[in-house]
Amino acid sequence: MKEKILEYLKDETNLLRTVDQIAASFSVDKGANNNELLKALNELELAGKIYRNKFNQYFLIEQLDMRLGTLSVHERGFGFVKIGEDEKDVFIDKGNIKDAFDKDVVLIKLTTAHGASRPEGVVVGVIERGRKKVVGLVKKNSHNHLYVECDDSRFKEKIYVDAAHAHGAMPGHKVVVEIKVYKLPLKGDVVKILGHATDPGIDILSIVYDHGVDIEFPKAVFDQIENIPDQVIRSEHEGRLDLTDMTIVTIDGDDAMDLDDAISLEKLPNGNYYLGVHIADVSHYVTEDSPLDVEAVERGTSIYLVDRVIPMLPHKLSNGICSLNPQVDRLTISCFMEIDHKGDVLRSEIHPTIIKSTHRMTYNNVNKILAGDTQLMSEYHDVLEMFYQMEDLAAIRRKFRDRRGSIDFDIDESKVLVNETGFPVDIVVRTRGISERIIEEFMLVANETIAQRFHWMEVPFIYRVHEHPDVKKLVKFFSIASAFGYRPHGSLDDMYPNQLAAIIEDSRGKDEHQVIATLMLRSMAKARYDQSCLGHFGLAADFYTHFTSPIRRYPDLLVHRLIRTYLFENRMDMKTIRHYESVIPDLALKSSDNERLAIDIEREVEDMKKAEFMEAKVGQVFDGVISSVTNFGMFVELENTIEGLVHVVDMVDDYYFFDEVKLRYIGRHTSSVYGMGQKVKVKLKSASKAEKRIDFELVIKSNKKRRVNPSSQKQHKGKEEFGKKKPKPDNFKTRSRHKGKGAPAKGGSTKNVNRRRKSSGKKPDKA
């Protein structure tokens, strides 16, 4: 009925659009059929797909210049509605947002004025509330009424809580409150008390819960794991290849607890390498549609924060029976590959196995061994030759991928060091040594091998895909990169990975390397999960999946389940095929969404801790590099990856033009130029943990400084200000000390604007 209604309304020649007229056109009699029509119309209207005007006539929303999208509210009150990948976001003025809030799905009416540079609109109605629960601080007003002040500055309304719904919450508590009444004044129900705002760790918990992530596992999950043994039992050996006598090692970070991958390697008589990648068989314990599986789907991934991990699976699995701890039997799925001296995988085998890892190695110790540490070499003499062979094979595979055109961005990543109370005591740059690269290469080749095998089997599968970058983004990248001498070779419509990889390699070791690598990364499409094998542009790979981390990523767990189904159980009947054809697309989409959510949480926590670390350093001077330039200022990154904003209103030594093509500022009087990759000295102006914001100001040499009279800082246009001495350059916008269109107010938050994407620093197989 819904499809029939939409098809009918789509025809604009149909002028009969009331309920009775539509019913007559459908030859619907009164009674059950008419009720079905009314129900379908109501559901379509509530979903925002059709709209009923004041004459009770129904139209498709597009016929009335309406759109459906998700609202993002800025701290200053205005917002943008995202309505589609190929359409521009629609600007909503503060007065036109009405009773909608950040993240709501809204129906908007386009009101764009003729000649406007961006689409504008007004909110017509809220289709779905995006936030049913928020995190905030309990306070009491002058009338002794409790209310919750939300942590997120984009959600400015107070949520009042009466005594019956406070559930013991007192002023000073951080709580999760569920909104029950959305009309002002908002009313809510406290559903969880996180603790007192000053308690250690509550700051991080607040961010986690504000993103809708629940740390505790449901009771059904604990009931299920009660029946899972702590050790591999004898009956589980049946049908598995016994590798317990093979030399197999794990190599992870010093503090890693979830050891889900192990390596074996030997040199064959023909000179080739026989690599074994052994991955914890999590799918043996997490069966499809079980409480464990349902919860794993909901979480999608483990979240790695500065002082804790929010695991996808309970610790009994992630740190226990599924962790490949040394000298204990563990169930695994092993991928064996014969690799020649060129790096080609000549043959491969996949088996259900049982292993007993001989050594729990760390990246630090393996790096020291390969650097010649005699004490460690003596301690691990039995696996010394294997480590040398690993180094050789990893170099071979790296050269193989280099020839293919794989892009190694090699961007600096940070690690926040905190004390026992959660206070950040230092920010350091993560180092990636030989052992990290060894594991990265071995995980990559295993992922490619598994993906290629199942692609040619032509069965439903889940892949990790990274599509060709958008041409518009490439144009923007090269408009900036050209200032450093990097230009495209060939058409941007048909850009190959090796062309971009060559630019990264050319920039390596130069001052602009981090900027070039970061800009290129921003121009890339986002990697995601999909049921189609679309290839991985960044790796220059035709086949790629995620197989190597089933403890912490749901797609890897699903890959293991598919391997078990198709290969080990030989179930490829039509019922099985149709089942996975139906479930994989939704699981791929949800996994991609959960991955982005985890990245947002990790980044927000890191930003908060970096701001907290800098709060005591206000007034200090630092060396930095301009990492990005916007129309409201420049972001400057310090050597330890801390990034802060130099707001345009604080560039007081001159009037500055903003070059929106080459992303740089040019001073009108001093001819000072500030562009990406440029080294600058900055003084810390302010830092706010609560706002997750760091602000710098430039340290200007005294012989260049030309103090602008504050009374003359209005933004003028035309000849009155600039005269004829120096015409305004093309594509330049004037930015004076006070106001600039699109710029946040002085002191406003910039935490989500043009931030560099940083990985969480977990396993190296981040592709």
pLDDT (0 to 100) of residue 765 = 54
Residue 616 to residues 424, 425, 609, 689: CA-CA distances in angstroms? 11, 11, 12, 11
Pick the CATH number of 65-128 from 3.40.718.10, 3.40.190.10, 2.40.50.690, 1.50.10.10: 2.40.50.690
Residue 523 CB contacts under 8 Å (≥ 6 apart), including other chains: 469, 470, 473, 474, 476, 477
Q: Does domain 618-735 have CATH number 3.40.50.150?
A: no
pLDDT band at 93 (very low <50, low <70, confident <90, very high): very high
> How remote is the C-alpha of 633 from its chain's centroid?
24
Q: Three-class SS of residue 96?
A: helix
Tell whether the model's pLDDT for residue 20 goes beyond 90: no
Average pLDDT estimate for 289-303: 97
Give the CATH fold of the 133-199 domain.
Answer: OB fold (Dihydrolipoamide Acetyltransferase, E2P) (2.40.50)
pLDDT band at 33 (very low <50, low <70, confident <90, very high): low
pTM of the model: 0.85
- For residue range 399-441, list pLDDT tens digits in order: 999 999 999 887 888 999 999 999 999 999 988 899 999 999 9
pLDDT (0 to 100) of residue 35 = 83
What are the beta bridge partners of residue 645? 635, 695
Low-confidence winner among 20-24, 25-29, 675-679 (lowest mean pLDDT): 25-29
Q: Rounded to whole angstroms, how far apart are CA atoms 520 and 315?
A: 38
Q: Three-class SS of residue 231?
A: coil
Q: Where are the domains positioned within the chain? A: 2-61, 65-128, 133-199, 222-464+538-605, 468-524, 618-735
- For residue range 554-607, list pLDDT tens digits in order: 999 999 999 999 999 999 999 999 999 999 999 999 999 999 999 999 999 999
Q: Rounded to whole angstroms, how far apart are CA atoms 395 and 379?
A: 25
Average pLDDT estimate for 745-751: 42
Of residues 338 and 492, more confidently modeled: 338
Q: Rounded to whole angstroms, how far apart are CA atoms 296 and 275?
A: 30
**Do 2-61 and 133-199 fold alike per CATH?**
no
Rounding to the nearest 10 degrees, give the CA dihedral for residues 742, 746, 748, 751: 80
Tell whether the model's pLDDT for residue 747 goes beyond 80: no
Low-confidence winner among 470-474, 524-528, 706-710 (lowest mean pLDDT): 706-710
The amino acid present at 491, given as its one-letter code, is S
DSSP secondary structure letter of residue 318? I
pLDDT (0 to 100) of residue 720 = 35
Residue 757 CB contacts under 8 Å (≥ 6 apart), including other chains: 521, 522, 599, 603
In this structure, what token pair is assigned to residue 141? 């007003």
DSSP for 255-280 reads T-----EEEEEEE-TTS-EEEEEEEE
pLDDT (0 to 100) of residue 411 = 80
pLDDT (0 to 100) of residue 560 = 98
- For residue range 96-130, list pLDDT tens digits in order: 998 899 999 999 999 986 666 788 999 999 999 98
Tell whether the model's pLDDT for residue 257 goes beyond 90: no
Average pLDDT estimate for 598-621: 96
Q: Rounded to whole angstroms, how far apart are CA atoms 362 and 122?
A: 56
Mean pLDDT of the chain: 88
- Half-sphere CA count of 292, side-chain side, radius 13 A: 24
298: left (phi over 0), alpha (psi -120 to 50) or beta: alpha
Pick the CATH number of 2-61 from 1.10.287.1080, 1.10.260.40, 3.40.190.10, 1.10.10.10: 1.10.10.10
Is 217:327 a contact under the CB 8 Å cutoff?
no
Please, is 144 exposed, middle or buried when counting C-beta atoms within 10 Å of its C-beta (0-12, 13-18, 19+)?
exposed
Residue 338 CB contacts under 8 Å (≥ 6 apart), including other chains: 268, 272, 273, 274, 275, 345, 346, 347, 348
